[in-house]
Amino acid sequence: MLDLIYCFALIAQFGLMLLFLVTGSAKLFALASFRETLNNFGIPTILQIPVSYFLPVGELVLAITLQINALAQWSVVGMLLLLSMFSLAIFWQLSNGKNPQCNCFGQLRPTAISWLTLVRNGAFIAATSLVLWVNPSPLNLAMALDQARLLTIALLILTSQTGLIVFLLLQQHKLNQRINALESRPFASVKGLPAGSQAPNFNALNLQGETIAFWSLLEAKKMIVLVFFDANCQPCLTVVDSIRKWQEAYAKNLNFVLLGRGINTQSNLENYTGLTVLRQNDREISNQFQVSSIPSAVSIDDLGVIRSHLVIGAEAIEKLINSVL
């Protein structure tokens, strides 16, 4: 029975090492998408960049130290705390009726969170607790298994690690293409104010520090394309570059208004020259429009009536613009 428990603990230990190696590496290969996940989970803008580096690097460090006898137990404690923190964040989002996309495995498996995600994390926590309790080590393993079994397991670990590294290297050149495809993919709108409803009136500062009332923008008697973005979201900045071109082409018919957060006026002013850009401190205005993700957009007529559902992603925004011309 003791041998069996040690075997299960060793398998769990090996699985946790692979899990944290994969999740840490995948996040580093898809930083832009991971930062959008942090944004959707409500992480303050000022913390998103450091967290996007610290978290995946921390996962890799935990995976590596799990193989060092003197640090293995501390590594397991770190994994347990990290998994518990993830689970609490997921539970908070689900209990508030939110299902943001989770890039927990980077671009290898981007999915929206659900209660099944919480169950999966519970299984990971159970496996981590088993490893913490049994604390398998080479010495304990030698007491439970003969040398042949130990050699077999060591070779299995070495082969699996080598295979994982080779797999990640072979997939690296494809990740950028996959990221671009996912970022531009149109998503079905699950939130946003319904078409035909009155757009909320709001006041926001422009880049010059002047307060602009939304209703004053209707005086131009043009269809407004209101675009929601974040200055630290790379897919959003790509859309901003496209809007600059669209504004030159469709200025007679459309009025593009960009509503962003995380904008540092001094450093970002040149990036938005010639564009109508309004700022929000956090998500106070986006929440009024029930924005579920960014980059996203909605069209509003000159009477302040919403004419389209909220669309998400660069391709969907372009289709929206073509539909209102």
In this predicted structure, the answer to whether residue 144 has a pLDDT above a threshold of 50 is no
pLDDT of residue 306: 94
What's the pLDDT band for 161 if we cut at 50, 70, 90? low
Residue 157 CB: number of other CB atoms within 10 A? 16
Dist CA 162 CA 157 (whole Å): 9
Task: Tell me which of 119-123, 163-167, 238-242 is least confident.
Answer: 163-167
Q: What is the mean pLDDT of residues 175-186?
A: 58
Q: What is the mean pLDDT of residues 3-20?
A: 79
In this predicted structure, the answer to whether residue 233 has a pLDDT above a threshold of 60 is yes
196-211 in b/e form (b: 16+ CB < 10 A) is eeebeebebbebeeee
In this predicted structure, the answer to whether residue 156 has a pLDDT above a threshold of 70 is no
- CATH of the domain spanning 203-324, picked from 3.40.30.10, 3.90.230.10, 3.40.190.10, 3.40.50.300: 3.40.30.10
Residue ranges per structural domain of the chain: 2-184, 203-324
Q: What is the mean pLDDT of residues 120-128?
A: 88
Angle, alpha carbons 28-82-234 (nearest 5°): 30
Give yes or no for a contact between 9 and 134, defined as CB atoms under 8 angstroms apart. yes
pLDDT of residue 310: 93
In this predicted structure, the answer to whether residue 47 has a pLDDT above a threshold of 50 is yes
pLDDT in tens, 263-296: 875 656 677 888 999 999 888 999 999 998 899 9
pLDDT of residue 300: 95
Identify which of 63, 65, 66, 54 has the alpha carbon closest to the alpha carbon of residue 27: 54
Q: What's the chain look like in SS3?
A: CHHHHHHHHHHHHHHHHHHHHHHHHHHHHCHHHHHHHHHHCCCCHHHHHHHHHHHHHHHHHHHHHCCCCCCHHHHHHHHHHHHHHHHHHHHHHHHCCCCCEECCCCCCCCEECCHHHHHHHHHHHHHHHHHHHHCCCHHHHHHHCCHHHHHHHHHHHHHHHHHHHHHHHHHHHHHHHHHHHHHHCCECCCCCCCCCCECCCCEEEECCCCEEEHHHHHHHCCEEEEEEEECCCHHHHHHHHHHHHHHHHHCCCEEEEEEEECCCHHHHHHHHCCCEEEECCCCHHHHHCCCCCCCEEEEECCCCEECCCCEECHHHHHHHHHHHC
